[in-house]
Structure 1
């Protein structure tokens, strides 16, 4: 154990045991904190009490079970009267509503719950991603009504799904307090987890860091997707342009293009823009990048509609398989929040309304695949057998490792494999007769026509 019995803030209450809250709770319990986890979903509470996480995260099963058994982590539906906590960490979600604005009721409700238990000298840490100014303008007024002295800080979550437990122990933790005392106190708490804490000037600076970090990633990926659009238009390979251009060249570090979504990138640019409206500022680059990433599925699927319409023999009622439903594949996750598989599938349904639909993901449960309206397939081989169109929507390592040319023998004829993640180079593949491979940013390199009837044999030369 790392946290000594004498540490004043050893008892911690974490509110919201979704991805952010549960990984933090498990990591803190594992270093010796006594953690009270609060979660309102009954089914999740029952699973966690048995030491079973409700989502996939490498290493979490062992850490969770060990600390549940050891009594260092307990789970309840509300804050117990006798919790003994001196620190409350708020980790509830902040999704966008139908109007595109961040929903704040979860933050307000949890802050009110904390206020009912707040004692003199307690500390409240905000960890949820919020609109700029939320901690000071929304949370503090709720807590102030109680009339006790307390500390408050904003300490954003920064981990990557798939490596969260490692990153909680390794990544620098940003800490911004309402006053210096709160900043120092929160730093002392997190130093039991990570060797590096970064103290910033105030709450708003810490809130802004979280939003800017994610918006910057969204912009970077959007530029890669713009490069893909350009390369598709002129007939060169975006994969080759990007990989050759950055090889041993330190001033270029462009990622590969691909669908951009997930629980953070799909919403945080919008949250940033919403928080800046009162200041009369529109983050134009940020919003343009987000719009480009959001428009990609429809643009690609419309292109696939033109390509398949030009292929002789492509059926009016094709069998279509969507592979990779989680919002990302590497590191592997079963998280469907913000997954681009949804808009990709929606666009496919519009362009191919009579299709038969299948789905495959090696991590997402079959029941969740079925909830997409897809027939779940048990393997890549089954997913491709008899399919006319296969769309690879995330970057799971299983896809890059599969012997595509061999498995493609199972496809119907004609058939097309479309890869959003450039797992293969089209020119290096020896696809079976009557089948073809096409990747994002390399449309012109697949030898397939956008218009004009052609067979795959003639298109492949």
Structure 2
């Protein structure tokens, strides 16, 4: 136990037990905080009470059961009257609404619950990704209805799914309080969690850091995807251009191209842009990058469909296997929020509405695959067997390690494999006759032949 009994802010209430809230709750409970977790979904609460997380995260189930056994974590559907919390951490979701604007209703509702329950001099921390100015403009007026003094800070979550428990204990924690006293108090709290605290001037600075971090990653990935588009157009391999160009050259650090989505990158650039509207400025590079990433599925599947139809004997009702359905494969996750597999599938259905569609993912449960309108397959080999089109949509290690040459012999003819993540050099593969491999950014490197 790292947190001494005498620490005044030892009792914590965390509102929202999704990916951000549950990993934080389990971590804080594991180091000795007395944690109350609040989650409005009763089926999730019931599972958590039995030690069953509702998503995949390495090490989380063991940690959850450990803190439940110790009694340092309690899970409820609302803040109970007998709570002793002095600190309230809001980690609820902030998705985009149908109008493309950030939804703040969950933030407002959770903040209202805090206002109704917090004691005098409580510490309130916002951890959800929010539009610029939300901490002061939205949270403060709601909290002030309590009629008691409080401290307030914005402390963004910055972990990567798949390694969240490790990163919570290692990554620097940004802290931006509404006052210096609030900043110092929040910093003292998080010093039990991670060794490095970065205090910034105010909540707005902390809000901006979170949005800029994710927008920068989206821009970086978009440039890699632009390189892929250019290489496809002129007939050279983006895989070779990127790998050879940065080998031993420290001033280039371009990632490989691939689909870019997920619960953060699909929305945070728009949340950043929305917050800047009041200042009369638009983040042009940020928005251009996001739109380039969004149009990639349609452009690539247009190419694949055109290539398939140009082959003699390609059926009107092909068997299509979509593999790698979570929004990313490294580190592995079962998170389908913002996955680019959905627009890839939509583009395929536009070209092949009568096809037989299969889905494979080594982490996503069968129910999640079925919910996407795909027939689940138990193994990678089952997915490819008899398929006319195979599309690899994420970068799970299973795909780069698979015996693709052997598996190509089980496919229907003509057969096409499209790999968004360049797991193989198509020029070096020896596939079954009548099969061809294409990778993003290498459309011109290999030409298919009919069986």
Matched position secondary structure for 2:97: coil
Matched, 1:299 2:299: yes
Q: Deviations over 1:33-65 (max 9, x none)?
A: 010000000110000000110000000010001
Correspondences of 1:354-393 after superposition (within 5 Å): 354-393=354-393
1:156-188 CA deviation, whole Å, 9 max, x = no partner? 000000000000000000000000000000000
Q: What is the deviation of 1:16? A: 0.1
Task: Give the secondary-structure state (helix, strand or coil) at the position aligned to 1:162.
Answer: coil
Instruction: Identify the residue that residue 78 of structure 2 maps to in structure 1.
Output: 78
Deviation at 1:408, TM superposition (A): 1.1
Residue by residue, what CA displacement relative to the aligned partner does 1:168-224 show, whole Å, maximum 9, x if unpaired?
A: 000000000000000000000001010000000000000000000000000000000
Q: Which residue of 2 aligns with 1:451?
A: none
Provide the residue aligned with 1:29 in structure 2. 29
Q: Does 1:68 pair with 2:62?
A: no
Equivalents in 1 of 2:178, 2:245: separation in Å? 45
TM-superposed CA distance for 1:66, in Å, is: 0.4
Task: Return the alpha-carbon distance in structure 2 between the equivalents of residues 22 and 374 of structure 1.
Answer: 29
1:406 aligned residue:
406
Aligned position for 1:12? 12
Match of 1:326 in 2: 326
Give CA-to-partner distance per residue, 1:223-249, whole Å, 9 cap, x none. Answer: 000000000000000010000000111
Give the distance between the partners of 1:262 and 1:201, measured in 2 at CA. Answer: 30
Give distance in 1, aligned partners of 2:112 and 2:441: 49
* 2:85–2:118 contact (8 Å) kept in structure 1: no
Q: In 2, are the aligned partners of 1:88 and 1:114 still within 8 Å (CA)?
A: yes
In structure 1, C-alpha distance between the alignment counterparts of 2:280 and 2:415, rounded to whole Å: 51
Residue in structure 2 matched with residue 101 of structure 1 by the alignment: 101
Given the alignment of the two structures, is residue 456 of structure 1 paired with residue 444 of structure 2, yes or no?
A: no
Is residue 342 of structure 1 aligned with residue 336 of structure 2?
A: no
Matches within 5 A, 1:16-165: 16-165=16-165
Within 5 Å, give how 1:421-432 maps onto structure 2: 421-432=421-432
1:198 partnered with 2:198: yes
The root-mean-square deviation of aligned C-alpha atoms, in Å, is 0.6
Secondary structure, counterpart of 1:9 in structure 2: coil
Q: Report the alpha carbon displacement of residue 152 of structure 1 after superposing the two structures with TM.
A: 0.3
> Cα offset for 1:327?
0.3
Provide, for residues 279-320 of structure 1, a one-character-per-residue CA deviation record: whole Å limited to 9, x for no partner: 000000000000000000000000111100111111111000
**Cα offsets for 1:372-431 (capped at 9, x unmatched):** 111100000000000000000000010011010011111001100000000000011111
| Corresponding position of 1:287 | 287
**Superimposed CA distance per residue, residues 130-176 of structure 1 (whole angstroms, 9 cap, x where no aligned partner):** 00000100000000111111100000000000000000000000000
In structure 1, the gaps of 5 or more residues are 449-454
Aligned-partner SS, 2:438: strand
Aligned-partner SS, 1:399:
helix
Number of residue pairs matched by the alignment: 451
Match of 1:433 in 2: 433
CA distance in 2, matches of 1:65, 1:239: 44
Q: Which residue of 2 aligns with 1:417?
A: 417
- Give the C-alpha shift of residue 456 in structure 1: 3.3
What secondary structure, in the 3-state scheme, does the structure 1 residue paired with 2:322 have?
A: strand
CA shift, 1:353, in A, is 1.2
Give the match for residue 452 of structure 1.
Answer: none
Cα distance in 2 between the residues matched to 1:76 and 1:446: 57
2:242 is aligned to 242
Instruction: Give the ranges of 4+ consecutive aligned residues of structure 1 lying more than 6 Å apart after TM superposition.
Output: none
Stretches of structure 2 that go unaligned for 5 or more consecutive residues are none
Whole-angstrom distance in 1 between the partners of 2:242 and 2:111: 46
Counterparts of 2:316 and 2:405 in 1: how far apart (Å)? 25
Instruction: State the distance in 1 between where 2:387 and 2:146 align.
Output: 62
- Once the two structures are superposed, residues 244-279 of structure 1 have per-residue CA deviations (whole angstroms, 9 ceiling, x without a partner) of 000111100000000000000000000000000000
SS in 2 for 1:276: helix
| Structure 1 Cα separation of the partners of residues 35 and 450 of structure 2 | 60
Take 2:446 and 2:177, find their aligned partners in 1: how far apart are those partners?
A: 55
Secondary structure, counterpart of 2:444 in structure 1? helix
CA distance in 2, matches of 1:244, 1:136: 48
Asked if the contact 2:178–2:203 (Cα under 8 Å) also holds between the matched residues in 1, the reply is: yes
- Determine if the alignment matches structure 1 residue 223 to structure 2 residue 223: yes
Asked whether the 8 Å contact 1:436–1:456 carries over to 2, the reply is no
CA deviation map 1:67-105 (0-9, x unaligned) = 011110010000011110000000000000000000010
The one-character-per-residue Cα deviations of 1:335-361 (angstroms, maximum 9, x if unpaired) are: 000000000000000011121110000
Contact 1:33 / 1:72 at 8 angstroms: preserved in 2?
yes
